[in-house]
Amino acid sequence: MNPEQTLPRLPANSRLRPHLDAAAMVERIYVRRHESLIIFLASLAFYLFWAVVLTLDLKLGNGDALSRTANAYYVLFSRDPHLAAIGFIWPPLPSFMQLPLLLLLRPFRLAIMAGPIISALFGAASLAMLNIVLARLKTPEKVRWLLTAITLLHPNFVFLSASGMAETMILFFILLVLWGYQQMPYGTRSWVICGIGLALAFLVRYEALALIMGVAVALVLVYWPESGQWRDEMEGRLLAVMVPPAYAVAIWLFLNWMVMDSPLYFVQSEYSLANATDIAKNAGLAHPLFLAWHNIFYTLSYTVKRLSQQNIAFVAGVVVSSLAAIVDRNRKMIGMLLILVSVPAFTAFQVFSGSLATWLRYWFYAIPYGAIVIGMLYRMMKGRARNLLVAGLIGLYVLSILVSAFTMYQDQNTGGDMQRLGAYLLNPAVEPERRANDSYYKFRHDAPILAARVDEASADGLVMVDANKSYYVILETAHPERLMITNDTDFLSALQYPRGKVSYILVPAEDNVFSRTYPGIYDGAYDWAVLVDEFPDTLVRYRLFKVIPD
């Protein structure tokens, strides 16, 4: 839709009309030819290099990322391959996108690289999209390149882009939503882009629910003049944006209901976040965030602290840009700020409700968002004051790299993976001592030992394995088709009476489905389960039991 078609459709008293001229309608992106492609390819090469180093050499990664790879693996290579094996706890897109890669990587015994490759792709794509968002804010070329480079090199962003985590994937879709929002209300494409971005974001992480609400509020705030005619048109455009995510949510609820007998299975399951042992409402007084539970002041202070540990420039920039937008009565920028803060606000609410772990990665949004608020200030302010302010924020952005590295090194509540990364950055000599607190390292250390014995046992008959606890073993085995795992459709019936259905059960010492069903099985409490092997060389204790048939 060109300006000549759009301007006459606006009511004469519309607040938007004075700002819509031919130049403003187009909002051209001032980027060089192939600039986005160059940023993407250079960033991808950088992140793929670190994906190989972290995953294959240093064994530094995240167990949640590895389990998403395992969920995709079951769809293709398990004894009972079916699409529902991808699971219904986490949103399906991160695992679903790994399916083609697993077909290529498994013959080389590199299935564990599927997740890191996907996160590297989306990390690189996010940087290219960040550059476009900054360009639409009319950030000078050298400044936006500098901001993109700082984001590229931030240690936490590097880790998330190279370790298979879903954060870079949802970030890409958030930036896609912002890109669509920036183009509004010029043509229908912008509304469609925004809606599709919201739908895909929900299929990556549940925080997207807050993003959906933030976008809805922003659109109502920005595009609701007094005219009744425009109100009707706004209604249609809101539907254009909100229908795709509404369908995504509805389909996910429906699939949970059809397959797992509850539309809210993903929040009610024993494996869901609500029942996690590392959140305040379940861990109790010993949890570092127990004092923040239902305490608004502690929650706010913790939120500001964690966001600052990721990017001080974001915290300072949000305050300054909010004041600038309010003083300037710039509703478009106020709406953009609402979209930006929606997900961190939801994360803060999780702290308040006692349902969030202490991991530093939950606050990573501050890293790229810092670049965006700097771009917003460039758009809203002018003169020497703007230049000094932006220079100061860029300085804080660079300083945040050191602050983040120090936090990972010093703070014991950032996660075992983050503590090891901080040690590698600041004091490599202490890194070996920190491996004992990193579950991912334990998994990678134990997987070959356990998989070799499981493959040997499975030659005699089916081995029953709890996929929720031992997914890393399944990924390492040469014959996953000889395992009966939690995701198999006949697992529950076999669990109720395993005799004659399986030959072995692999039981970890920690809480698992076998110990809950048969208390004391790990200690040999049942005469039909005979201990045949222990694993003294593993970091996580396991025992292999032979199941005596009837």
Confidence of residue 229 (pLDDT cuts 50, 70, 90): low
Q: Which of 171-175, 212-216, 271-275, 309-313 has the lowest mean pLDDT?
A: 271-275
- Greater confidence (281 vs 484) lies with 484
Does residue 324 have a pLDDT over 90? yes
Could you tell me which of 344, 343, 363 has the C-alpha nearest to residue 404? 363
DSSP state of 526: -
Per-residue exposure over 90-111, b if at least 16 CB sit within 10 Å of its own CB, e if not:
bbbbbbbbbeebbeebbeeebb
What's the CATH number for 439-547? 3.40.190
Residues 6+ apart with CB under 8 A from 333: 321, 324, 325, 376, 379, 380
* pLDDT exceeds cutoff 80 at 21: no
Is the pLDDT at 17 greater than 50? The verdict is no
Res 24 pLDDT > 70: no
pLDDT of 258: 93
Average pLDDT over residues 68-73: 97
Sheet with strand 542-547: strands edge to edge: 483-485, 463-465, 504-508, 542-547, 529-534
Q: What is the mean pLDDT of residues 504-517?
A: 95
- Preceding omega of 185 cis (within 30 degrees of 0): yes
Query: Amino acid identity of 60?
Result: L
pLDDT digits (tens, 9 = 90+) for 255-296: 999 998 899 998 888 777 777 778 888 888 889 999 999 999
User: Coil, strand or helix: which one is 280?
Assistant: helix
pLDDT given for residue 18 in this prediction: 42
Among 68-72, 261-265, 318-322, 449-453, which is the least confidently predicted range? 261-265
Residue 32 is predicted with a pLDDT of 80
Q: Is it the case that residue 465 has pLDDT exceeding 70?
A: yes
pLDDT value, residue 277: 79
pLDDT of residue 271: 76
Q: Does the structure show a pLDDT above 60 at 14? A: no
**23-27, 218-222, 538-542: which is most confident:** 538-542
Residue pair 66/163 in contact by the 8 Å Cβ criterion: no
Chain-centre distance for alpha carbon 100? 20
Task: Round to whole Å and give the CA distance between 307 and 360.
Answer: 9
Residues 357-369: what's their mean pLDDT?
96
Average predicted confidence (pLDDT) for the chain: 92
- Global model pTM greater than 0.75: yes
Look at residue 275 in the predicted model and tell me its pLDDT.
Answer: 74
534 φ, ψ (degrees, to nearest 5): -120, 170
Question: What percentage of the chain has pLDDT greater than the value 90?
Answer: 81
End-to-end CA distance of the chain: 75
Sign of CA dihedral 338, 339, 343, 349: positive
pLDDT (0 to 100) of residue 272: 75
Q: How confident is the model at residue 227 (pLDDT cuts 50, 70, 90)?
A: low
* 519 Cβ contact partners less than 8 Å away, ≥ 6 residues apart: 525
- Domain ranges, ordered by start, for the chain: 276-431, 439-547
Instruction: Name the band, by pLDDT with cuts 50, 70 and 90, for residue 13.
Output: very low
pLDDT digits (tens, 9 = 90+) for 98-127: 999 999 999 999 999 999 999 999 999 999
Q: Please give the share of the chain, as a percent, with pLDDT higher than 70.
A: 93
pLDDT > 50? residue 222: yes
Q: What are phi and psi of 502, to 5 degrees?
A: -135, 160
Which has the higher per-residue pLDDT, 188 or 491? 491
Q: What is the rounded average pLDDT of the residues 337-362?
A: 96
How high is the pLDDT of residue 155?
A: 97
